[in-house]
Amino acid sequence: MQAQIKTASPAGEYYLRGVMETAAGFKLNEDSSFQFFFSYGALDRQGHGKWKMEGDKIIFDSNPKNLRDFKLTASKKDEQEGITIIFTGGNAAINKYLHTIVRTGSKEAHTAAGNDGIAMLPAMKADTIILFFEWCAEKQSVFTPGRTSDNRYTFELLPTIFDVVFDNFKMSVQPGKITGVLPFSGDLVCNFVKEK
């Protein structure tokens, strides 16, 4: 009869090691919930949700996930040429990093807003409007306008703009260590070492 080996719970606090000028960490709770933080310069991000083990992998899922970071507050037909996107709730330091992509059929236009939070695009019918914040570009908010004749849209930035979304996201687990590429870190492998 084989002895059954009980795997130790990975619950605890893990902190990023080996990435200069960056602080990040996971807190894995015994109830399978987690909190995540990331700080680089003036950029602070956070996330939360549930974790579970699958072999030597830990899987993170945000709760809720797939949230939009922008809310459409107004839409109308204006006499001006082109499409105007107005962002509210931001400031000059953030506004210039807000991006808009407008699609109609196979055509696409892309621009960033100015310091005033206004983005101007060429005249076209907006079948789809995609918004994202450059510092959190892994998340996109997609809107399908009710009237494609409208050309002036106002969107409010929501507090979730800095949230990190984990969607069935897997990282490797070794004793005292979590390793993997974060949803927004490109191909940079990040090592998180358990401290508590």
Report CA torsion sign: 110, 113, 114, 120: positive
* pLDDT of the residue at 136: 87
What per-residue confidence (pLDDT) applies to 3? 41
pLDDT tens, position by position, 158-167: 988 889 989 8
Domains and CATH numbers, the chain: 12-63+163-194 (2.40.128.640), 70-162 (2.60.40)
Amino acid 29: pLDDT: 96
The rounded average pLDDT for each run of 10 residues, N- to C-terminus, in the chain (196 residues) is: 57 93 95 95 89 94 80 92 93 92 92 96 92 89 88 94 90 94 86 92
Query: Which runs of E-coded beta strand occur in the chain?
Result: 12-17, 22-28, 33-40, 43-54, 57-62, 70-76, 83-88, 98-104, 107-112, 118-121, 128-133, 141-143, 152-157, 169-174, 177-181, 189-194
Give the pLDDT of residue 8: 74
Q: Report whether 195 contacts 28 (CB < 8 A).
A: no
> What region does 55 belong to: left with phi over 0, alpha with psi -120 to 50, or beta?
left
What per-residue confidence (pLDDT) applies to 20?
A: 87
User: Are 47 and 62 contacting, i.e. CB atoms less than 8 angstroms apart?
Assistant: yes
**How much is the pLDDT for 7?**
59
Backbone angles phi, psi at 82, to 5 degrees: 85, 180
Per DSSP, 136 falls in state G
Residue 38 has φ and ψ, to the nearest 5°, of -145, 130
Buried b (16+ CB within 10 A) or exposed e, 156-174: ebeeebbbbbbeebebebe
Q: What is the pTM of this model?
A: 0.78
Asked if residues 170 and 58 have their Cβ atoms less than 8 Å apart, the reply is yes
- Using the 8-state DSSP alphabet, how is residue 4 labeled? P
> Edge-to-edge strand order for the sheet containing 107-112?
107-112, 98-104, 128-133, 141-143
